[in-house]
Amino acid sequence: MKPTKQYPEPTVGALIFNDKNQLLIVKTHKWKGKFTIPGGHAEMGEYLEEALKREIREETGLNLVKAKFLCYQEFVYDDCFWEKRHFIFFDFVCRVEEGIVQLNEEAQDYAWVDIDKVDDYPVDKYLKHSLDLIRATPLSLE
C-alpha cells in the first residue's frame, strides 16, 4: 500500500466591502486571536466562486452578490495559524446583500472597518498584502 500523499489546500478568502466601502474583518482563534477575512477550503468538485459563496454564507450569514479575483498567496507552514498547514489562498473582493452579520463558531468577533483603519487592528500579513494590492489598484464592483 502506498503512503497517503498530502497536497496544498486551496482556500478562498472574501474581502467583503459594504456600501460605505468598509471591510468586514473577523477575529478568530485559528489565527491566534488576530483579525482576518472570512474564507475556507474549496471542496472537491467545487469551483472557487462556489466555495466563496458557501464560505461567506457559513461564516457570516451574508449572501454573495459580486466577486472579483484579487490575488493568490502561498501559505507554507506559517506559525501564525493554529495548525501546521500548507494553503494556497485565492482572495476575492466581494459585495454581499445587505444583512446582519451572524458569525459561526469559527469567529469570536467582527468589525466593519474603513480600509485606512484596518492597521489599527491586529491583522495577519496575508490580509495586509491583499489590502496593499487594493490600495495600489482599487477594484470596482459596481
Q: Would 90 be classed as within a structural domain?
A: yes
Eight-class DSSP state of 38: -
- CATH number, domain of 98, equals 3.90.79.10
pLDDT tens for residues 30-43? Answer: 878 899 999 999 99
**103 closest CA partner among 19, 10, 16, 11:** 16
Q: Would 94 be classed as within a structural domain?
A: yes
Spans in the chain with pLDDT lower than 70: 1-3, 80, 139-142
- Residue range(s) defining the domain that contains residue 45: 9-136
C-alpha 110/C-alpha 121 separation (Å) is: 11
Q: Would 142 be classed as within a structural domain?
A: no
So what's the pLDDT on residue 141?
Answer: 67
Count how many domains the chain has.
1
Q: Would 104 be classed as within a structural domain?
A: yes
